[in-house]
Amino acid sequence: MTENKMQRRGFLQCMAAAVALVLIKPINAFAAIWNSSAFEAVKLDEVTNHLNVEVEIVSQDIIIMAPDQAENGAIVQVEVTSNIANTESMAILVENNPTPLIAHFTFTNGAEPYIVTRIKMAETSDIKILVKAGDQYFSNTKNVIVLENGCG
């Protein structure tokens, strides 16, 4: 192999390594904020412990729009708005699911604390929304009757 081809191969290997690092760095950053123990917990109180929640204040400033009855628990639309000043994060929990923590959203730079998503529900249960604002946690719940299991 000529010296020119060896230099080109070395350059290409170096570029491939640099591209790989650029792609892996965001994944590592995401993994650092991913609270796997909270998502893997099987009981509601375990989830709140893993999220470092000591005291929850029940608040009607958390608006939960969800059906009173869900025909199919596999697709339950949930819309949540937090009217609590300085909302930093919102978590959606369903107590009677195999793993209660469904989603955890973080809001930065003045983003509006508003979520619309579809969740799965194993059976009739409360949907609990947990909001973090500053060093306080607020919660509100809405009961949804599930007519057909969605986590089967």
Residue ranges of alpha helices (H) inside the chain are 3-33, 36-40, 44-50
Shared domain check, 67 and 12: no
Query: Is 152 part of any domain?
Result: no
Question: Looking at residue 38, what is its pLDDT?
Answer: 87
Which residues fall within 8 angstroms of residue 125, CB to CB, at 6 or more apart? Answer: 94, 95, 96, 97, 143, 144, 146
Question: Looking at residue 28, what is its pLDDT?
Answer: 42
Question: Looking at residue 2, what is its pLDDT?
Answer: 57
Query: What's the rounded Cα separation, in Å, for the pair 79 and 65?
Result: 5
Q: Which parts of the chain have pLDDT scores under 70?
A: 1-34, 149-152
Shared domain check, 48 and 103: yes
Question: Global pTM?
Answer: 0.76
Shared domain check, 6 and 62: no
Shared domain check, 46 and 14: no
Question: Looking at residue 101, what is its pLDDT?
Answer: 94
